[in-house]
Structure 1
């Protein structure tokens, strides 16, 4: 009897001791990335190397202190904008001292990556690592994760952000933002149903004015997916193979686009392009857009003559902030159907609910004051 009691006490002690162990066994995290590779982590990543600075904004949407997760990044400030970088630096000064790696996966130095001692390397699908690079990094015991916010954003952005939430232990925050994005996308789609919906022709010119040549544009993928979702007919889709390419000016004129969109941002300062984004005032957007559309050939387009020409921040693309670009495009392409849509309110909600920084500034604008603002139905 005494022996049985002693045995029971010993078992109970082992059970309690196991429960109180300061280092409980963690379940591993296993995901399949956008290249189809299985990536396994023993615990949420805390020393991440990102091969594109734009991943910083994605991390910021799902983590209250995204810089604390980083061990290295490209310091490619133009990809996020100097004012945005300054805002992140004010929030987390250590961002300036993080190890620097190259921008884009294919130009990465494997030795520099390994020397940074990350517990996870994140690369973009549109500039993914060569197989030999990936193998070398993985042989050093460092997992590599490929995400896609660029090639097929409408199909791949949600699973990419969901995976990012899983590998950082921020699943709930990732799902909350994705639900927000999905609800706003559904609201756009609902307004574009019915047999009476037309598809105005749209000419979108990325980084317009960066060079004297005309005309950079987009195909069916990438930004072209946004144009189609927002109810427009992308004039580049018929002739550009892939996500982006060049259109002949004569072709653009022959298509007589009803809507013109020029993307730009802080990187267009000094290049006679559209400047917009964090810290910019609406009047600067209008002034820079007016210069862009005054170019020979562009000035004669129906979209410009009818004041249906707009500027859009390129920093909203290749990013989960693409919902702001979608709402702006919907208002530009179908102003009569989206009078009550308020992208500015959406931007403010994202800043308040999801980000550690504020997105104050004009990220889009038209030729006339008040365009793209909300009016009552």
Structure 2
């Protein structure tokens, strides 16, 4: 049985505890400065968030957030900053909606086809940034941001009446998906939960297995820690960059599927945007860990849900955004402080052990 390292366990628990305490303290001060009672705000949030319909809403909201965080985290694990998840999932959802709306197949075929198209388009769009980085040295932050703008323009061009979309009232959208493309739902006493939460959970398991139980994951983490060391051990850094961007883009392609297959059944001008940027915050909050990101996505959904109730209680509507930002900053700072403390403690321990060995050596020489 593997022995538990108590010091490592304590340090692991210290970071989130420190982050939570700091976030609550700073948030309370901010709310207090506005002239409101912070403890009443927390009470309202807990009571409203614990309702059955709120819990379903939070889970449904957290599902695409979690998928977005997974897409971002793949790049983060090897120091790649894929800022283009927002553009990747949108263009992926658009072309998946176009293909799905043009087909009438049994659901067992139609749904996988739509998902595969979305993942392929997302991978292709992200792969462009990977190729630009490895072949021309273009920073992935710049290229993915530019691809976001290009993707929005491509969608804007085709999302017009008479091209790949049609006008219905004040909205323009792609043709509706057939009934066979409607994803299953998990019934509850209030509203149903998106069935795509199952796919999100499987994606999280696949992410964990890929990074922690495969040679590819080992190489990816090695490149993230030291490109020079990875290259010296025979790893092709350029191939890893492109492959990682392809995987990140494929996961990004799943982000829009809960909405496309479970809510709107088309891609229109009202399709949700900004989920990719939220995924960056959630990946940071969850420390690129699949379980941590799931909890972070649920927390994000909780804050958004309960934030609407705070407005009815007279609190400023911007307070939720402030809380979210404070939490992310506190988590990043807390983990860095704990990491540095742990490193210094380890160095001090090694120094003490070396000094003890030197004293023993001196005593042995004297006795001799």
Question: If the length of structure 1 is used for normalisation, what is the TM-score?
Answer: 0.22
Bigger relative contact order (CA 8 A; separation at least 6): 2
- TM-score (ref. length: structure 2): 0.22
More strand by share: 1
